[in-house]
Amino acid sequence: MKKRQLGNSGLEVSALGLGCMGLSFGYGPAAERKDAIALINAAFDQGVTFFDTAEAYGPFANEELLGEALEPFRNQVVIATKFGFEGGDSKGGLNSKPESIIAFVEASLKRLRTDYIDLLYQHRVDPEVPIEDVAGTVKDLIQAGKVKYFGLSEAGVQTIRKAHAVQPVAALQSEYSLWWREPENEIIPTLEELGIGFVPFSPLGKGFLTGKIDENTTFDKTDFRNTVPRFTAEARKANQAMVDLLGKIAGEKNGTGVPATGVPATPAQIALAWLLAQKPWIVPIPGTTKLHRLEENLGGANIKLSDNELMEIQRAASQIKVQGARYAEAMQKMVDN
């Protein structure tokens, strides 16, 4: 697995990370603990050094899972986690008060079985707490050796600039993929200007860009995609054009990244290869609960799209209008613009 630098921070990670949320939260029943640990171990064995979690994934269960799984090779990996919800519950409202951040870090260190957090994100911007106070608190934690790098998630341009002026921001984590390209307007130019890395979550469109979901797919009752407007049956039918585009490109490309293997790429691999081609400081974090999907996703890091292929994707994608909002209204209100 090739490595990438997250902006100018000096933080080096694998070109693809592993988003761990789905192992215990959000996409239906949690994976069996032994299976989840086996998947994390397999990711590490295949070169993944960047693992993403949060207190709100559970709450707490995902951090505890990572702590157990990564403990044997803790010093060889980068762990990113997030604070910012009251009581660690994503339904409990926002809380980024300095005393809450400090208490979170102490509890998170225990759950992660470590004495430092590599990358600490504010999960969502809290309008009740000045971002300068948040950045200042994380700066103190960095000086204390409990945190190494500071990150933001779903933050807007002005928030990024204000935070960065107090404590350099190493990375922004926000949604970005071929079916959510809004960051290209203002976010990516700002990150490039400031030397901040970009960590796209949902790089496969919450699974839709894999080509394994269609208008007839049903989700578990606990799967949050049931509440997402973009995942109504009507929207999925309309959005199939994007998957068809990826499938067309994939059919013409070797999936292993090795010429003349005769193994075609998959839509997921093309979607990830496209993201990696956008900027050298972009590090997507696809998630999965299945070993064969993990291997498929990691294969995307070996695929190099030509300039002609990137232009073809750009031309075709520009003619596709994706249907449906990416969040339900309540969640959208937590996004900082």
Residue 98 CA to residue 11 CA, distance in Å, equals: 25
What mean pLDDT, rounded, does the chain reach? 95
User: What pairs with residue 244 in β-bridges?
Assistant: none
User: According to the model, what pLDDT value does residue 255 have?
Assistant: 63
Q: How, if at all, do strands 12-14 and 117-122 pair?
A: unpaired
Give the pLDDT confidence of 213-224 residue by residue, as tens digits. Answer: 999 999 999 999
Segments making up each domain of the chain, as ranges = 3-332
Of 206, 156, 197, 157, residue with least CA distance to 178 = 206
Residue positions annotated with a catalytic role: 57
Which DSSP helix (H) or strand (E) runs through 199? strand 197-201
Q: DSSP string of 205-268?
A: GGGGGGT---TT----TTBGGGG-GGGSHHHHHHHHHHHHHHHHHHHTSBTTSSTT---B--HH
Q: Is 321 exposed, middle or buried (0-12, 13-18, 19+ CB in 10 A)?
A: exposed
What stretches in the chain show pLDDT beneath 70?
A: 255-262
Tens digit of pLDDT for each residue in 270-290?
999 999 999 999 999 999 999
Structure confidence at residue 222 (pLDDT): 93
What CA–CA distance (Å, rounded) separates 328 from 331? Answer: 6
Q: How far apart are CA 118 and CA 337, in angstroms?
A: 26
DSSP 13: E
What pLDDT, on a 0 to 100 scale, did the predictor assign at position 161?
98
* pLDDT at 328 (0 to 100): 85
Task: Classify domain 3-332 at the CATH topology level.
Answer: TIM Barrel (3.20.20)
Q: What is the pLDDT of residue 337?
A: 74
